[in-house]
Amino acid sequence: MLVSQEYMKMFNFSGFRIDAALRCFLTYVLLSPDQMVLSDCVPLALFSQRYHKCNPCLFNSEDEILSLVCSLLALDLKLHAGSAGYVYSRDLLKKLYSSLKRNPLRDFAYIQVENGERCSGYGNSILRPNPRMMPDSDSQVEYKKGWVMRKCVVDKGGKKVPFGRRTWRMFYAILKGTILYLQKDEGNAKSGAYITYRNAIGLHHSFAERAVDYTKKQHVFKLQTYTYAEYLFQTSDPNEVASWIHAINFIAACFSAPKPIVVDESISNWSLFGRPTMSTTMSTKLSMTDQLKAHGDRVMEIERLLEAHRDHPPCRNCKPNLLLEFAEKEVNLLYELKRYKKYVEMLQDKVDEYASEEENMCESAYVYSVPTIASPGGRSGQSDRLSYCAAIDNCMSADIA
């Protein structure tokens, strides 16, 4: 079982909808038709465990994921080759049905061949994603949606927006992956007609909080992005404000690629100071535990920089612009400290929650002992998944005997 768990750590399903993750997983693991609808199938249980760990906020438990996976496989088999009581939203089921009907999870050619000939033609593997490729919006996980009012206060680069453009506009907001899509009406959102680059806000390295300094309207929260743009969003009630803030900050904490703070550490030359440069990488390659550690290290780094900054203030007789830069640097460091502390807080809560669930499931853990299998590196995906399936079958046969 330890070997199989290490094998599953090579898959990174973060930000993938469950059908897209399952389609990639099955390029390495071959299931027989009898295993496609069995809830006690070991590979499916391992997949459910890994998917829940990569996307802990999407489903309540691994059993819920396993039930949906078995239903998807049964539907896939029915559509292309001739549930357990959980209730899923009608919108999600319709999208999954349409996705499976257009593109099957697996190639069903091997089902019609009794001798089990190998099939080919699989797509790219999730194990080696291309960081320059933007994920398709249709395969991204949808975290939250609803009507909001938006007001742009600060433009990209920290430049204030002219008063003539500071108007409130209504949008139907859809939070998918690390992108906040803003649509003019709900109809376009339901039809999947997303405008990728227009009225879309990247949320990696972003930070959302209540707009306590804005008193003209109620139920308003503030969003600051990695480009130092700033937006105000108004919702219908305080619960919606808290829900949007939690969703945005959690996604930013999970998927923002760690990068050292680019701040001039020179004490004497204040004129070199500029705002920290954020990473343009949208998704991290770290697990949630490693991501938590990276954010914790960043908190300690910023605290060290802030302490050194305050220990060496400029002299009173220096030029006014040096005093201004000193104050701006402190404001930016305090903002970064607050942002990363929020990231650590949200990830720590989720890691503790996941650890508690893992301890409760120890007694019902699988007892299968899977022999050593080859890594996908340097071999074809088809041979790897055949080796993986053969290892599990041999193990199960030995246990039955």
Does any domain span residue 390?
Answer: no
349 Cβ neighbours under 8 A, 6+ residues apart: none
Does any domain span residue 137?
Answer: no
pLDDT score of 50 more than 80: yes
Does any domain span residue 277?
Answer: no
Global model pTM greater than 0.75: no
Is 154 found in the same domain as 92?
Answer: no
Q: Which residue, 29, 61, 59, 60, is CA-closest to 44?
A: 29
Which stretch of 136-145, 242-251, 261-270 has the lowest confidence by average pLDDT? 261-270
Is 191 found in the same domain as 234?
Answer: yes
**Interatomic CA distance for residues 260 and 400, integer angstroms:** 53
Q: Which residue, 173, 96, 103, 178, is CA-closest to 137?
A: 178
Do 203 and 178 meet the contact criterion of CB atoms below 8 Å apart?
Answer: yes
pLDDT score of 235 more than 60: yes
Average pLDDT across the chain, whole number = 74
Is 76 found in the same domain as 25?
Answer: yes
Instruction: Give the CATH number of the domain where residue 88 resides.
Output: 1.10.1000.11
Q: Which ranges of 216-287 would DSSP assign to H, the alpha helix? A: 238-255
**Interatomic CA distance for residues 369 and 202, integer angstroms:** 43
What residue numbers bound the domain in which 176 lies? 142-255
The pLDDT value recorded for residue 35 is 58
DSSP 234: E
Is 102 found in the same domain as 2?
Answer: yes
Is 237 found in the same domain as 159?
Answer: yes
Is 146 found in the same domain as 107?
Answer: no
Is 42 found in the same domain as 88?
Answer: yes
Does any domain span residue 133?
Answer: no
Is 32 found in the same domain as 106?
Answer: yes
Does any domain span residue 375?
Answer: no
Is 69 found in the same domain as 155?
Answer: no
Is 102 found in the same domain as 9?
Answer: yes
Is 37 found in the same domain as 82?
Answer: yes
The pLDDT value recorded for residue 268 is 37
Do 206 and 228 meet the contact criterion of CB atoms below 8 Å apart?
Answer: no
pLDDT band at 69, cuts 50/70/90? confident
Burial status of residue 142 (CB atoms within 10 A of its CB: 0-12, 13-18, 19 or more): middle
Question: At which residue do the structure tokens 């995906």 appear?
Answer: 381
pLDDT digits (tens, 9 = 90+) for 122-171: 333 333 334 444 455 566 788 899 999 999 999 888 888 888 888 999 99
Instruction: Give the CATH number of the domain where residue 221 resides.
Output: 2.30.29.30
Does any domain span residue 128?
Answer: no
pLDDT score of 4 more than 50: yes
* Mean pLDDT calculated for residue range 366-379: 43
**Interatomic CA distance for residues 290 and 370, integer angstroms:** 26
The pLDDT value recorded for residue 314 is 84
133 Cβ neighbours under 8 A, 6+ residues apart: none
And the tokens for 8? 């599953």
Selection from 243-247, 253-257, 264-268 with the highest mean pLDDT: 243-247
Which of 205, 237, 255 is the last residue in one of the domains? 255
pLDDT score of 250 more than 80: yes
The pLDDT value recorded for residue 195 is 52
Task: Give the count of domains, the chain.
Answer: 3
Does any domain span residue 362?
Answer: no
Does any domain span residue 319?
Answer: yes
Is 72 found in the same domain as 7?
Answer: yes
pLDDT score of 375 more than 50: no
Instruction: Identify the residue with better confidence: 354 or 241.
Output: 241
Q: Which ranges of 172-237 would DSSP assign to H, the alpha helix? A: 186-190
The pLDDT value recorded for residue 368 is 41
pLDDT digits (tens, 9 = 90+) for 99-109: 877 777 765 54
